[in-house]
Amino acid sequence: MEANGLGSQGFPELKNDTFLRAAWGEDTDYTPVWCMRQAGRYLPEFRETRAAQDFFSTCRSPEACCELTLQPLRRFPLDAAIIFSDILVVPQALGMEVTMVPGKGPSFPEPLREERDLEHLRDPATVASELGYVFQAITLTRQQLAGRVPLIGFAGAPWTLMTYMVEGGSSSTMAQAKRWLYQRPQASHKLLRILTDALVPYLVGQVAAGAQALQLFESHAGHLGPQLFNKFALPYIRDVAKRVKARLQESGLAPVPMIIFAKDGHFALEELAQAGYEVVGLDWTVAPEKARERVGKTVTLQGNLDPCALYASEEEIGRLVQQMLNDFGPQRYIANLGHGLYPDMDPEHVGAFVDAVHRYSRLLRQN
């Protein structure tokens, strides 16, 4: 690091690298912790900031994204920040219209209905240039973080993005998207390739802008059984990691740890552990000791407290965290929830979770 306290990219020097060390599989003095959706509606200040404009306008404002990203760090001693954005900015950049309907979630007025609809999508090579606002938000946030903790960038994985583009929104069964997989396997692979080709430069662009780690969200893994997952999700998950890493190297950018979080993808744990990611995220349906047995010593695990455990008393949260940390063991582990925070959660209980992880993980290492 240069003497002026600025790192190689001109960003302030990192003061707390515990999260990055754990992600790379190095030993840490305590267990690092962050929460999926830590910048979310459970925070009154988030609701206040967001009230002014609609969801995707907020995503397109680097200043708003920076403020929302930093809010949870002002309240809690979290070990990482994750940029405020949304996985659906990628389908938007491919030319699809997406709106966020309050109380209902994302909506695509014109979802993909047949193979010929793929011709209307923009060239995936242009996607990164459409998403400059995300890169600006990352750079601004990296500066404002002043080296406090690392900044995580993210994207949705190809299958999860495909589900939204075909279903036109959320779905409990994903029947339309899965109909594509069974009836139009070629068109499905074509769409998944387009998405992969869009994601690679987008993720590399996030690192160039200042992201110090990357998480890929395969939120809808659970709708696929092992066969479909191995055919339509896993190859693209692997491809994203491989190509992002190669592209970073070609661009002369330092490698960053990559996290794969496949919600309800417990049937593919071994495959995910060998997919080229340093960290495998777990949801709360997976027993940590069993997961550790299955993935071996080569990856870091992240997770996996049931978010609803935060409805419990602070004492009970402490007990649950203690159990979780015992089960995962002290090293190669990043504490998190098994899914994002829900809007009606009490910030005090989020604080209790973070503090319990720090407190108990230090105790564990002493004994």
Q: Tens digit of pLDDT per residue, the chain (367 long)?
A: 344 566 657 999 999 999 999 999 999 999 999 999 999 999 999 999 999 899 999 999 999 999 999 999 999 999 999 999 999 999 999 999 999 998 899 999 999 999 999 999 999 999 999 999 999 999 999 999 999 999 999 999 999 999 999 999 999 999 999 999 999 999 999 999 999 999 999 999 999 999 999 999 999 999 999 999 999 999 999 999 999 999 999 999 999 999 999 999 999 999 999 999 999 999 999 999 999 999 998 999 999 999 999 999 999 999 999 999 999 999 999 999 999 999 999 999 999 999 999 999 999 999 8
pLDDT for res 178? 98
Residue 4, exposed/middle/buried by CB under 10 A (0-12, 13-18, 19+)? exposed
Rounded CA-CA distance 32/258 in Å is 16
Contact 13, 315 (CB under 8 A): no
Task: Give me the catalytic one of 30, 42, 60, 86.
Answer: 86
Task: Give me the catalytic one of 164, 236, 277, 333.
Answer: 164
Task: Give me the catalytic one of 17, 42, 50, 292.
Answer: 50
**What pTM was estimated for this model as a whole?**
0.97
Task: Give me the catalytic one of 17, 37, 239, 264.
Answer: 37
Would you call 29 a catalytic residue per the annotation?
no
- The domain locations on the chain are 17-364
Would you call 164 a catalytic residue per the annotation?
yes
Written as one letter, the residue type at 275 is A
CATH class of 17-364: alpha beta
3: CB partners within 8 A, 6+ apart: none
pLDDT for res 9? 73
Would you call 355 a catalytic residue per the annotation?
no
pLDDT for res 2? 40
Task: Give me the catalytic one of 41, 75, 193, 359.
Answer: 41
Residue 251, exposed/middle/buried by CB under 10 A (0-12, 13-18, 19+)? exposed
Would you call 37 a catalytic residue per the annotation?
yes
Would you call 60 a catalytic residue per the annotation?
no
Rounded CA-CA distance 114/216 in Å is 27
In residues, how long is the chain? 367
**Dihedral angle computed from the Cα positions of residues 16, 22, 26 and 29, in that order, rounded to the nearest 10 degrees:** 60
pLDDT for res 169? 97
pLDDT for res 103? 86
Nearest to 299 by CA among 341, 342, 269: 269
